[in-house]
Chain A
Amino acid sequence: MFYREAGQYKTTYQADMSIFPILQDRMGLALIITAALLLPLFAGEFMIASVMVPFLILALAAIGLNILTGYTGLVSLGTGAFMGVGAYACYKLSTAFPAINILVWIVVSGFVSCSVGVLFGLPSLRIKGFYLAVATLAAQFFLQWCFVRIPWLYNYNPSGAIEVPSRTLFGLHVTGASATPTTRYYIALAIVVGITWIVSNLVHGRVGRSFMAVRDMDIAAQLIGIRLLRTKLLAFAVSSFITGVAGAMMVFLWLGAAEADAFNINQSFILLFMVIIGGLGSLIGSFFGAALIYIMPIIVRTAPESFGLTIGAATVEHLTYLITGALIIFFLIVEPLGLARLWQIGKQKLRVWPFPY
């Protein structure tokens, strides 16, 4: 009723295979992108710098993890460290070759993270499930150890942190303190939309299907001619490429300086939560997950103030934990398959309304 698709005929194979076969979906997507583009006109600096930029970056990292965990079924606890590899690679590259544009280095650092990811993905052929999670945990600890213990990685700074130098694109400051939140937001938006588009094509194609075949039953996948090692390593490569880019963006477009601790095990867990709550094996789920885990606490935190209530800062923090935790449990009970599934059900219901099916 709300969602009538009568009269939309698919006359070509291409139309039948398209990712958004329904006109309303395409319109919705166009609307979301337009809204995202126009947002800086209406939103304040806090909204852009502290809500939208981190949200986009975390959503991208969640997409990266989703490729591995959601699509290929390989649980990883090393996401934070792979983000770190991207960040440190980008820092090294941009300080060693300052003349080359920073955006190039953000993308290239993804490849560095990619190769590290492949290396740590090698054991995935032999071990599965919880055991693989533990193996990636080793990657997390080892890489974090490297970030602390190899001074070359942070250019021997006495502070032990990586600091983002000021870099420009077409005369506009893109990174560093002079970069306006709006610039950083548009850069992040462009990268996130671009990568999401590529990934969406990837997971809907042959490669994505082989990922899912491996996830659903790897022996069967092998029997139908999917080479396991290659597929799993490819999943690790794509996943850590994306998380690496997200990590570089996190330091260069969001934080501005980072210690090794920014890429600790908590970061890995939070991303895993985002993927699980958002929906395993769903791109839109990654965005939902990032929104729920990152933006919701901010809303909870700022809500009492906007109603004119004054609550102590620490109390607000405790309340935030309580409410966020309760909501996570609520969503997991209502829909264990994640917010993406909830979204799908909602769409279906509206489509057939007022009939139940």
Chain B
Amino acid sequence: MTTLKTTLLALAATTALTGLAIPAQAEDSVFVPLFTYRTGPFAGSGIFIADGMHDYLTMLNERDGGIGGVKIAVEECETGYDTKKGLECYEAVKPKGPVMVNPWSTGITLPLIPRAPVDKIPVLSMAYGLSASAQGDTFPWIFNPPDTYWDGFSQIIKFIASQEGGLDKLKGKKIGYIYLDAGYGREPLPFLDQLSKELGFEAKLYPVPAAEMQNQSAQWLNVRRDRPDYMIMYGWGAMQPTAIKEAVKTNYPRDKFISIWWPSEDDAKGAGDGSKGFKTLNWHAATADFPVIKDIQKYVVDKGKSQSPKEKIGTVLYNRGVYNSMLIAEAIRTAQEVTGKKVVTGEDVRRGLEDLNLDAARLKAIGMEGFTGPIKLSCSDHNGHRPTFVQQWDGTKYVKISDWIEPLSDKVEPLLQADAKAYAEKNAPWPARTEACDARS
């Protein structure tokens, strides 16, 4: 009997759980889930991004009543930067008909890549995820604007070359590469290898295992011994402030230390005054002096609808969240234009992303003039490969110190092509692209 009773109980619980079916999506809104991480080991970066993304979309709802007269139904799902939880979030939001997902973790992006065409939900992995997914012909449903990690790497190398007086001057130089020893940090390795052969510089590798992000003394001991002319960093989470602190401790010249675009103000602040001179790549402003941020302050923050502390608005990662949400909103708007529908679906937004064309006029219209550069995607190019600039930490904020630097596309493009082809072969049978191309432009 007991077994029977418990079974019944279990069944009841099961049905109760299934009964938690999510309320149907309102007719006049588009559903945009935001996968965020305000908890866990990467919350230090994740909170600002989450706030930026959330506040921009809320601002559109408050100021314009949504996009094209349609409200945006924003919902956060907490992933904790954990792949399993991220997939759970994905399954949880799927029945509600999301128009796109932003995984905000390479680990969560990878399993979603094959699912996107099946579920008809485009994936926007902004400047992270699988670099090869820039190839729209192989990955029609995945978008990773505005740059891949290989683009970023080539831009750092170009910046170093400009300091030295030309790419040919790199010959005989020593360039150290300190990276998170995971898929993300190792991705540039073949490219680094190729560049070092072509340009004749010596590459020194300093991998940092994920478990030892906060203890890099061994790596920096080697840095002190090798004395590289420049250091490049691909880090995330706690690895970044630790690396900067260690650079200060070992007295490695901070102005020769250049990171990819992920360090925040807090990462640099952690090392105190010593971190002055530290450089990172970026593609958007790191201040609040733009109409779009002012509107966020007026319509969202002042009304108490933001979770963000006031002083964090306009910081690097907050603005990156804003940029990400701007891409979401513009993709939805473009989809509305292309299809003539108001309430768009994931399939429409995929077209909207491919037709995305943010020129200077459009950026001005949305209050982002000077905030970032124009970007245009196409059916074959899901990335844009936009130029970035170098910003330097002056002790209180990041200051733009270089012009826009174009990536070495002639070197990156063949790698992307080869990689996309290899991915399709390894995951055979990989579906061939059947989605028609609008070719609006």
Query: Contact residues of A with B, CB < 8 Å?
Result: 2-3, 24-25, 27-29, 31-32, 35, 39, 42-47, 49-51, 54, 95, 98, 141, 145, 148-149, 155, 157-161, 163-166, 176-178, 254-262, 264-265, 298-299, 302-303, 305-306, 312-314, 316-318, 321, 346-347, 350-351
Contact = CB atoms under 8 A, between A and B. Distances in A.
A3 B5 CA distance: 11
Given A256-B111, A257-B111, A314 B39 contact: yes
Contact of A256 (B7, B114, B426): B114
A138 to B, nearest CB: 14
Contacts of A157: 183, 423, 426
Interface residues of B, number: 62
Contacts of B11: 35
B83 A31 contact: no
A165 B426 contact: yes
A42 B22 CA distance: 15
7 contacts: A28-B6, A44-B21, A141-B211, A148-B209, A255-B83, A265-B211, A350-B1
Given A155-B426, A160-B183, A43 B18 contact: yes
B115 interface: yes
B187 A158 contact: yes
Contacts of B113: 163, 257
Interface in B200-229: 209-211
B117 interface: yes
B123 to A, nearest CB: 12
B419 interface: yes
Contacts of A35: 7, 10-11, 14
Contacts of B22: 305
Contacts of B441: none
Contact of B38 (A141, A160, A262, A317): A317
Nearest to A25: B3
B38 A313 contact: yes
Given A46-B92, A255-B83, A305 B20 contact: yes
A147 B190 CA distance: 19
Q: Which of A265, A312, A314 has the most CB of B within 10 A?
A: A314
Contacts of B115: 177, 256
Contacts, number: 174
Interface of B: 1-7, 10-11, 14-15, 17-22, 36, 38-39, 76-78, 80, 83-84, 87-88, 91-92, 94-95, 106-107, 110-111, 113-115, 117-119, 130-132, 181-184, 186-187, 190, 209-211, 307, 419, 423, 426-429
A314 to B, nearest CB: 3
B152 to A, nearest CB: 14
The DSSP consensus for interface residues of chain B is: helix
Nearest to A51: B17
Contact of A50 (B1, B78, B92, B119): B92
Nearest to A1: B1
A52 to B, nearest CB: 9
Contacts of B15: 42
Given A148-B182, A313-B38, A316-B78, A262 B84 contact: yes
B77 A313 contact: yes
A144 to B, nearest CB: 8
B149 to A, nearest CB: 10
Given A158-B190, A165-B426, A312 B7 contact: no
Contacts of A302: 17, 20, 92
B110 A159 contact: yes
A313 B36 contact: yes
